[in-house]
Homo-oligomer: A and B are copies of this chain.
Amino acid sequence: MHSVLADEFRSRIASGRWPEGERAPSEAVLCREFGLSRGPVRQALSTLRAEGLIVGGRGRPPLVRRNAVRHAASALGSFTAWAIASGHTPGQRTVEQSRRRADVEAAERLQVSLGDPVVTVRRVRYLDGEPVMFENQHFAWDLGRLVMDFDPDSGSLNSYLAACGADLYASTHEIDAVAASADEAADLDVLEGSPLLRVSRTTVDSVGAVVEYADDLYVPGLTAITFENRLFGPQTREGTTP
């Protein structure tokens, strides 16, 4: 219910039914309109507040925010889903899909023993035909087994894994910047040494075990990672926009 409400509110803002800069309906009004108690209405509104679409309150009139971030998609996890949600056409070219024995880095980041089997997938990712990201994914064998049966040129590995019922619970991201190596530069069509945005991701399952890690290299300017940050309140929401 509350997520249905949130979608409804978002579309009302997008359609101009709730004009930007004007007052938004109060919680009480929305409760009456939908015949719901405050719980789900508050939950939906807090999502929109976290997204920065509604501001004010606590005595102040609630306002639909001017100049809100648009198309702040959520997941850094799925390139394909993000690209489609942003209205672009995703593509990929697979550089490597292999089963190998864990080296020191893989053993440490996946928390497996040296020499345990791991699966690596390396792909250049395209947006509307233009290379925007170099993706280096590494899977522990439980997931890797499934990944070896996947055609990496067919699109979203994430939806494939989700369809397999894989247990992907949460990701930790660390962002920094690196200079492009000669190989990366060639694949991404930039100059060697030019700055790339590196997103290092570690994904765990619902019992906290590491199941995947990745180092994704984004070409700056073509894509950017964005997120909202409520000051004096921990509500946040992140996303990426082309």
Spell out A's residues near B (CB within 8 Å): 21, 47, 50, 52, 55-57, 60, 63-67, 69, 74-77, 111, 168-179, 193-198, 203-204, 206-210, 218, 220-221, 223-232, 234, 236-238, 241
Contact = CB atoms under 8 A, between A and B. Distances in A.
Contacts of A232: 168
A209 B67 CA distance: 9
Give 8 closest A-B pairs by Cβ, nearest first: A195-B195, A177-B195, A177-B177, A176-B220, A65-B208, A177-B197, A177-B220, A175-B225
Contact of A227 (B66, B77, B173): B173
A240 to B, nearest CB: 9
A239 to B, nearest CB: 9
Contact of A234 (B74, B175, B177): B74
A74 B210 CA distance: 24
Contacts of A208: 21, 55-56, 63-67
Contacts of A241: 174
Contact of A231 (B170, B176, B210): B170
